[in-house]
Chains A and B, each alone.
Chain A
Amino acid sequence: MGKWSVRLLAAVMMVMPLAACTTAPSGDESGVSVGGKAAADGPSRLETVKDRGTLICGVEGTIPGFSFVDTDGTYSGLDVDNCRAVAAAVFGTAEDIDSKIEFRNLDSTSRFPALQNGEVDMLARNTTWTTSRDASGGNGMEFAPTTFYDGQGIMARADSGVSTLADMDGKSICVETGTTTELNLATRTTELGIAVDEVKFQDSNATFAAYEEGRCEGITSDRSQLAAKRTGLSEPDAHVLLDDVLSKEPLGPVTINNDSAWFDAVKWVTYGLIQAEEFGVSQDSVESDVDSDSPDIKRFLGGEGDLGEQLGLPADFMVHAIKAAGNYGEIYDRNIGEVLGIERGQNKLWTDGGLMYSPPFR
């Protein structure tokens, strides 16, 4: 038996150095510039993405309606469709677009480092646009247009008699740590002069599970998330969303500072989705709309002018983006409206009294 063990040992040791050669395949990440400050020196991320042939998009991966993996094993959600639109616009094709995107799940603490060290090209990860995150002296990010206007809310049990945040005095609230949510809660409670017991969790599922188990009397998160998760509670009607809105939470895609070419591409594709809804250009109609009589739509879809070229994108970049994901209204309905039943509210087009507004494409 001793002999046998030695042979086994020798076999194992022989195999070990070879492990170095087994570098598993990844999206080719060569030429990726590191750090936000270095971004200005090297080639734009736009060129890097085009050369690589894959877009690495940072998503949350566990937020209903925004990004999750469905039973078929494909990503879906509002954020995910945003990535699809950008990828389709950059690569000039909507066909089999998922094979050209590498989704990367990032939790709230690792999202900015991942963007800064060049691990991901962009975030479409429920990220709230704030000054310190945008400022070059802060996190040094660039925020593309808001794709979802949210606000922080509080949910509590209907039978607890709580109807406003002030009623939560002396009670415990579950909150996800490392988010603006946590900070807003602290600010509002200080303003009201009440003391709440914050029970903190690293991920949103754990936060909701704890609330359902009754480990805290209230839970705070973005109102969209509260509404979404309420549908999954055992008795949805036993929980109420308080009227208090604790904060403004404009959520949108993010890229690194000092890379205007890449930022502009992401920004204008995102605006384009909103503009498409305003023009009434949908996933089904985009093919025929290319020959539209309206010069505005024609220019928008690349039939006229050189908007695409100016952005460093194919002339018909919006055609591909819309083919891949649909216009903003379609994206919203598919991922948020129909599935989670959340009213569009502030997320309506400006023409309908909402906040969704795209600068003109000309």
Chain B
Amino acid sequence: MTSTMPPTSAPPAVIQKTPVEWLKKNLFSTWYNTIITVVLLWLIISTLISTVDWAFTTARWEVIPANLKLYMVGLFPKKELWRIWVLLGMICGLSGLSWGAIARNVAKLFSPTVIGGAAAIALFTVLIPTPWPNRLILLGFELMILATAWIGRAITRNNPNVAQWIPAAWGLSFFVMLWLLAGGFGLKPVRSGDWGGLLMTMFMAVVSIVFSFPVALVLALSRQSSLPVVKGFAVTLIELIRGTPLTVWLFIGDVMLPIFLPDVWKIDRILRAMVVLVFFCAVYTAETIRGGLQAIPRGQSEAALALGLNTPLSLGLVVLPQALKISIPALVGTFIQMVQETSLVAILGLFDLLGMSRSILSNPQFVGRYAEVYFFIGLIYWVFCYVMSLASRRLEESLNTGY
């Protein structure tokens, strides 16, 4: 009797190594490897020592707590700060709900990693040098994220349809947030020039990413189009914007646009910068999406046509979901880059994180505190970009269907 199963064999034995053996194999295997290891080790350690030494002895960190409000919200009026808190609360609540909805099929929502992370964030929150009420609010927000995540999971488990409404809730909340920021309709108006710091950076980044996406989709599809006019337009726009540095476009938007546009068309300065950012982000995203589209075999759309789907449906139901899924790593790369590129608006004199820092450095009290100030905003950028990249990895995992 013959078996159709291949003969089973034992897995290769795992060779247990002691740390010393590992070091010997990986770092000190040959004489030149030993030299490289020693030199690099010396470089790393001496840099680390001098950095730590600077941070604890030379650095004068009082510039950060004294200007924390400026870093966070810029010149936003003090009396209206509650609006920013409400806005932050909305973001936290919605994030929690979304997290719960996405993780509704995960067995355990609060894994040890999550609990550990939450505890670390809580500890960090308590240490932030801001008045106690602020710290308590922040702690409250953190609890709210966890609570809403739990609720979101419970609801979407019982009723998966609810999850569809979360994107709509985000869309709606955007307008509420805009209202909170700008005022009007019963709230005291706040000039867009008074939004600043992290608030401005995040606002610009979010707006340029969210609004560039549909533009990018249209551009990517147009570039694939067989209609010469549509294709030509997309190619021209993409190559024109991509071929010129962002700084140039920002200057064109800031300095030249008001000269060309008729008097009645006075566009807000920050809006002009944002339009530039949206288009700049869109052309890069478009090319990323195009890459994703080209990676989908023709057979997919042919099969969709064979099933009787028309072109929009085959695009929307078959091609795009797959194309976008494989583009996620590159897309997130573009988005992270956009978060950082918003710092270029500082050259226009806008008070984003970098612009605010430049102004803080001109305060006679803090003249010369370059290292502390730039280190701090670097840290803020890093935290946000790292969170984005973490989130994208999670999204990839949850979307990974194996085909």
Q: Which residues of A contact B (CB under 8 A)?
A: 1-2, 4-9, 11-16, 18-19, 22-27, 29-35, 61-65, 67-74, 102-107, 110, 113-114, 116-119, 202-203, 205, 208-209, 212, 228-229, 231-234, 339-340
Residues of B within 8 A of A23 (CB): 267-268, 271
Other-chain contact of A12, B66, B67, B74, B210 (Cβ < 8 Å) = B210
Q: Which residues of B contact A (CB under 8 A)?
A: 58, 66-67, 69-70, 74-76, 78, 163-164, 167-168, 170-171, 174-175, 178, 182-184, 189-193, 210-211, 213-215, 217, 251, 254-255, 258-259, 263-264, 266-271, 316-317, 320-321, 324, 347-351, 355-356, 358-370, 399, 401
Cβ–Cβ contact B368 & A9, under 8 A: no
Cβ–Cβ contact A22 & B178, under 8 A: yes
Other-chain contact of B213, A12, A113, A205, A234 (Cβ < 8 Å) = A12
Known: A25-B184, A29-B266, A33-B263. A114 touches B321 (CB 8 A): no
Main secondary structure of the interface of B (DSSP, over half): helix
Cβ–Cβ contact A27 & B191, under 8 A: yes
Task: State the CA gap A119–B182 with chains docked (Å).
Answer: 20
Known: A19-B211, A23-B271, A110-B348. A340 touches B364 (CB 8 A): yes
A-B contact pairs, 14 of them (CB 8 A): A1-B401, A11-B167, A14-B171, A25-B191, A31-B263, A32-B266, A62-B361, A69-B351, A69-B363, A71-B365, A73-B78, A205-B358, A231-B367, A232-B366
Residues of A within 8 A of B363 (CB): 64, 68-71
Residues of B within 8 A of A19 (CB): 211
Residues of A within 8 A of B183 (CB): 25
Q: Which residue of B lies closest to A340 (CB)?
A: B364
Other-chain contact of B367, A6, A110, A228 (Cβ < 8 Å) = A228
B391 to chain A, nearest CB (A): 15
Other-chain contact of B364, A202, A209, A228 (Cβ < 8 Å) = A228
Known: A19-B211, A119-B258, A205-B361. A25 touches B268 (CB 8 A): yes
Cβ–Cβ contact A26 & B193, under 8 A: yes
Q: Which residue of A lies closest to B262 (CB)?
A: A34
Cβ–Cβ contact B349 & A105, under 8 A: yes
Other-chain contact of B370, A4, A64, A209 (Cβ < 8 Å) = A209
Cβ–Cβ contact A110 & B349, under 8 A: yes
Other-chain contact of B214, A13, A29, A212 (Cβ < 8 Å) = A13
Q: Which residue of B lies closest to A119 (CB)?
A: B258
Cβ–Cβ contact B255 & A24, under 8 A: no
B335 to chain A, nearest CB (A): 14
Q: Which residue of A lies closest to B318 (CB)?
A: A2
Residues of B within 8 A of A105 (CB): 349-351, 355, 359
Residues of B within 8 A of A114 (CB): 255
Cβ–Cβ contact A212 & B368, under 8 A: yes
Other-chain contact of A64, B178, B351, B356, B364 (Cβ < 8 Å) = B364
Task: State the CA gap A30–B264 with chains docked (Å).
Answer: 6
Cβ–Cβ contact A63 & B362, under 8 A: yes
Other-chain contact of B317, A2, A205, A234 (Cβ < 8 Å) = A2
Other-chain contact of B399, A1, A35, A116 (Cβ < 8 Å) = A1
